[in-house]
Amino acid sequence: MTQLVLDPCCGGRMMWFNRDDQRALFGDIRSEKHTLCDGRAFNITPDLNMDFRAMPFSDESFRLVCFDPPHLRHAGRESWLRAKYGILSDDWQDDLRRGFAECFRVLKPEGVLIFKWNEIQIPTRQILELTPHKPLFGHPSGKRADTHWITFMKGQS
């Protein structure tokens, strides 16, 4: 089956209803196994180890990309937050700028990008400044409305 959806930062696939959905290609720079503080296993097992800043796909390969990059600048080296969500590098602005560019590059014309961001450490407005693409709509969620789901649509080529 040809995958129509790309998740280039899949982590533990926490947002997926079906973590083995065959329509999606799950990528991540990490392949790791963790035991969380409550004893549960938390595994990052991508279909493909890849870097969202330089994806190994042809232009216009996917109809949908869900981009949920690390959102933390600071987290303890052994913390469950770091294990679950990863951590941004010191060059996080350039990393995310390149990530957005890559997501739009691999999207087909009129393809959809779903972007998820938690602004607990970096405000969403700062992140949206890293791409020239303008979102269609979005919604804050969570107990403190810190997580934002934002939808973009690529233009026609």
Q: Report, as an integer, the average pLDDT of 9-16.
A: 95
pLDDT of the residue at 1:
56
pLDDT of the residue at 36:
78
Highest mean pLDDT among 40-44, 47-51, 72-76: 47-51
Count CB neighbours of 132 within 10 A.
9
Count CB neighbours of 116 within 10 A.
17
pLDDT of the residue at 127:
97
19: which residues sit within 8 A by CB, 6+ positions away?
A: 13
- Lowest-pLDDT choice from 24-28, 70-74, 100-104, 112-116: 70-74
157: pLDDT strictly greater than 80: no
* Domains of the chain in sequence order: 5-153 (3.40.50.150)
Tokens 């947002």 locate to: 15
Q: Which pair of structure tokens corresponds to residue 29?
A: 């720079």
Percent of the chain exceeding pLDDT 70 equals 99
Q: Which pair of structure tokens corresponds to residue 50?
A: 């890849």
